[in-house]
Amino acid sequence: MSAQIIEFPMHRVRQVRSDKANQVFQNSAPQVRPSVRIARRLIAWTVLVITAYLLFFGQASAVQPAEANNAALTNSSAKNFIYVTVMSGDSLWAIAERHASGRDPRDFIQDVVSLNNLSDTVVSAGMRLAIPRS
């Protein structure tokens, strides 16, 4: 098999005018209509505001301190509870050992979790917990 050479008729190709060639290279960035620019900016600002709102209020709701359950306070006298602020390095087990006075710390921790509406037993420094008096 042999290669066949095809000659292209160069006289049919239009020559580019030199002023258009220079204009193409100088304006390499595409022109965007003003309405498209406004729409892009509006979308960008909307996304920015929504993201900031979700970050601020999403994190702010996670920092709320634990408070005693209102139903537990109305069912029993408020004199049966004391409030303790969790210090750095504290855990529910350490608080139970200090305040349980003869009770099983596991039962005491369960009472504290249910009284304060905690989702788990992890506490952070600065939380204010209602502790049942022994």
Side-chain half-sphere CA neighbours of 124 within 13 A: 6
Do 31 and 94 touch, CB atoms closer than 8 A? Answer: no
Flag whether 19 is in a domain. no
User: Does residue 31 carry a pLDDT above 90?
Assistant: no
Q: Average pLDDT for residues 108-120, to the nearest whole number?
A: 88
User: Does residue 131 carry a pLDDT above 80?
Assistant: yes
Flag whether 101 is in a domain. yes
Locate 134 and state its tokens. Answer: 């022994």
Flag whether 57 is in a domain. yes
Locate 106 and state its tokens. Answer: 């596991």
Same domain, 74 and 58: no
Regarding pTM above 0.85, the answer is: no
Question: How many domains are there within the chain?
Answer: 2
Last residue of a domain, one of 64, 81, 106: 64
Distances (CA, A) of 99 to 13, 20, 108, 134: 95, 87, 9, 7
Flag whether 15 is in a domain. no
Per-residue confidence (pLDDT) for residue 27, from 0 to 100: 56
What are 44-81's pLDDT values in tens digits? 999 999 888 888 777 655 555 555 555 554 554 456 88
Q: Which domain, by its residues, includes 79?
A: 70-132
Query: Residue written as tokens 């050479």?
Result: 5
Same domain, 91 and 123: yes
Sign of the CA dihedral with 61 first, then 66, 71, and 77 last:
negative
